[in-house]
């Protein structure tokens, strides 16, 4: 195994992720990168090589990124999925684990700079193109939660893109720091700079409940946004997405269209973002589909046969994330979705999910017991 292969390929990818995003990459560009990564992973992960070979796919016969055999998310719960050397692992991100799983999922990361580049590329495009908002994160500080990929992501954004302006408002015991957050939001209300307020869906449910109970609301500065990171089911109480968005918009003095949904998972180093629009004629709230960065693409597969389905058909989602150079580029999820135009997808249902990235199950238990 040649570590310089990894280093060279990672450097190429980091450069590509740093280019301004103008839309999906040309299919040839994506395919060329994906096949190079498959070739690298085939050479450096012997069990994956056998798995791919059994499916008739090898570096010598692969033609298209869509042919790369995907690794199921469940495999991350079994043993390390590493394309490279276990000794070179820089960090490990874990899922919080749910009652459905007997083991915790682990994503071994060979090089965090790829994750950083993916985060920066996407977040710059979506949230920092014209401004440098203060970032308030309704998750634990990455120092308290070093194995949370969501905490890492928001930590990077806070320190690099928001230049340290902001903070984390969930403590090490999973308690939301309500009073401190109110104080910070009140200060920000008086200023001119915009706010980026990010957290798991369920942390927001508890936050909204608390604000209502206390009779508090805010008028955040113009262009402020909220990022909600999925996961509504299986919690102490199920709240519909539209109810949560309406409550968050009203409580923070922003339009519903300023709420963006993020879809990511511990097993992937890139994320999708979905914008919300309000139809001018009807006032109806519309979710516009999850948009990947150019280095992430998805296929919708037939649930029974795992054969690709055409746009508009519902099936299980398989993601191809070029940032996953050190693990598995193709990930078979448990999530159900539909392919839309411009590489966007509509999520229909989630079995695995971003809630595991933020440990919100633990937080939900705590908050429910407190109430």
Partner 1 sequence: MNTSVFDAYELPDGIKCPQMLNSVNVGEGFSVQYPSLNDSDKDVLAKILVEGNAAIKNMPVSEIIQSIGKVSERFMDQDDPLRHKALEIMVPTAGISIEMAETILAGMSADWTKTKLTELLEKEFRIPAILDGFQRIDSGRSQMASGFTFNLTVGSGTVPGVGVTALIRALLLKSSILIKPGLGDVALPVLFARALKEESEVFEKCLAVAYWDGAKEKIGDEILGKAGVVVVYGSDETIRSIRSQIPKTIDLVAYGQRLGIGLVGREALSGMKALKTAQRVAMSISIFDQKGCVSPQILYVEEDGEVAPEDWVELLASAMERLEEKLPLGVLNQQEVIRVQQLRAATELQEMAGTGVSLYEGKHKSWTVIFDPELSLKWSDCKRAVYVKPIPDLTVVKTLLANNENCLQTVAMAGAFSRKEDIANDLSQVGVTRLTSFRQAPWPKPWWHHDGRSVFQGLFKLIDIEDISD
Interface residues toward partner 1, by CB under 8 A? 46-48, 50-51, 54, 70-75, 77-79, 81, 99-103, 233-238, 303-304, 306, 316, 332, 334, 336, 349, 351, 365, 368-369, 371
Question: Considering beta carbons, is residue 15 or 302 the nearer one to partner 1?
Answer: 302
How far apart are CB 36 and partner 1 at their closest, in Å? 22
Cα torsion 305, 309, 315, 318: sign: positive
How far apart are CB 350 and partner 1 at their closest, in Å? 10
Give the C-alpha separation, 245 to 242, whole Å.
Answer: 5
* Secondary structure (H, E, C), 293-340: CCCEEEEEECCCCCCECCCCCEEEEEEEECCCCCCCCEEEEEEEEEEC
How far apart are CB 8 and partner 1 at their closest, in Å? 27
How far apart are CB 304 and partner 1 at their closest, in Å? 6
Does residue 54 contact residue 339 with C-beta atoms inside 8 Å?
no
How far apart are CB 225 and partner 1 at their closest, in Å? 29
71: β partners: 331
For the chain, list the strands marked E by DSSP: 71-72, 91-94, 106-109, 134-140, 166-170, 195-199, 225-228, 259-263, 272-278, 285-291, 296-301, 314-321, 330-339, 345-349
Give the C-alpha separation, 6 to 111, whole Å.
Answer: 9
320: β partners: 297, 330
Question: Considering beta carbons, is residue 103 or 214 the nearer one to partner 1?
Answer: 103
Residue 276, classed as helix, strand or coil, is: strand
* Secondary structure (H, E, C), 133-176: CEEEEEEECCCCCCCCHHHHHHHHHHHHHCCCCEEEEECCCCCE
* Secondary structure (H, E, C), 343-359: HCEEEEECCCCHHHCCC
Report the alpha-carbon angle 116-139-144, nearest 5.
80
Question: Considering beta carbons, is residue 3 or 303 the nearer one to partner 1?
Answer: 303
Q: Tokens 């269209």 map to which residue?
A: 257
Question: Considering beta carbons, is residue 54 or 341 the nearer one to partner 1?
Answer: 54
Kindly give the pairing relationship between strand 296-301 and strand 285-291. unpaired
Residue 67, classed as helix, strand or coil, is: helix
How far apart are CB 315 and partner 1 at their closest, in Å? 9
How far apart are CB 43 and partner 1 at their closest, in Å? 15
How far apart are CB 53 and partner 1 at their closest, in Å? 9
Question: Considering beta carbons, is residue 171 or 243 the nearer one to partner 1?
Answer: 243
Question: Considering beta carbons, is residue 240 or 282 the nearer one to partner 1?
Answer: 240
Question: Considering beta carbons, is residue 156 or 364 the nearer one to partner 1?
Answer: 364
Question: Considering beta carbons, is residue 69 or 292 the nearer one to partner 1?
Answer: 69
Question: Considering beta carbons, is residue 3 or 365 the nearer one to partner 1?
Answer: 365
How far apart are CB 370 and partner 1 at their closest, in Å? 10
């Amino acid at each position: 195994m040649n570590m310089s292969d990894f280093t060279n390929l990672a450097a190429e990818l980091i450069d590509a992720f740093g280019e301004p995003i103008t839309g999906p990459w040309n299919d040839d560009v994506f395919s060329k990168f994906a096949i190079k990564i498959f070739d690298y992973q085939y050479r450096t992960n012997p069990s994956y090589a056998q798995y791919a070979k059994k499916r008739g796919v090898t570096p010598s016969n692969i033609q298209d990124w869509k042919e790369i055999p995907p690794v199921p998310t469940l495999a991350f719960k079994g043993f390390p999925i590493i394309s490279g050397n276990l000794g070179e692992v820089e960090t490990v991100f874990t899922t919080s684990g749910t009652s459905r799983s007997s083991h915790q999922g682990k994503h071994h990361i060979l090089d965090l700079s790829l994750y950083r580049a993916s985060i920066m590329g996407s977040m710059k495009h979506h949230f920092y193109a014209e401004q440098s908002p203060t970032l308030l994160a309704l998750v634990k500080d990455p120092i308290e939660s070093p194995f949370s990929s969501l905490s890492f992501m928001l930590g990077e954004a806070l320190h690099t893109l928001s230049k340290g302006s902001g903070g984390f408002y969930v403590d090490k015991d999973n308690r939301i720091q309500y009073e401190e957050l109110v104080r910070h939001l009140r200060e920000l209300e008086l200023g001119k700079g915009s706010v980026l307020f990010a957290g798991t869906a369920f942390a927001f449910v508890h936050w909204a409940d608390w604000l209502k109970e206390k009779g508090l609301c805010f008028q955040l500065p113009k262009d402020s946004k909220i990022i909600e990171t999925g996961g509504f089911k299986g919690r102490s109480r199920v709240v519909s997405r539209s109810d949560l968005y309406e409550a968050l918009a009203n409580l923070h003095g922003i339009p519903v269209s300023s709420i963006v949904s993020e879809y990511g998972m511990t097993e992937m180093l890139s994320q999708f973002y979905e914008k919300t629009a309000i139809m001018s004629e009807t006032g109806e709230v519309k979710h516009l589909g999850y948009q990947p960065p150019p280095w992430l693409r998805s296929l919708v597969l037939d649930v029974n046969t795992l054969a690709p389905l055409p746009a508009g058909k519902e099936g299980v989602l398989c993601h191809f994330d070029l940032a996953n150079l050190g693990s598995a580029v193709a990930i078979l999820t448990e999530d159900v979705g539909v392919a839309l135009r411009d590489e966007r997808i509509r999520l229909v249902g989630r079995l695995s999910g971003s809630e595991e990235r933020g440990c919100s199950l633990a937080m939900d238990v705590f908050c429910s017991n407190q109430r």
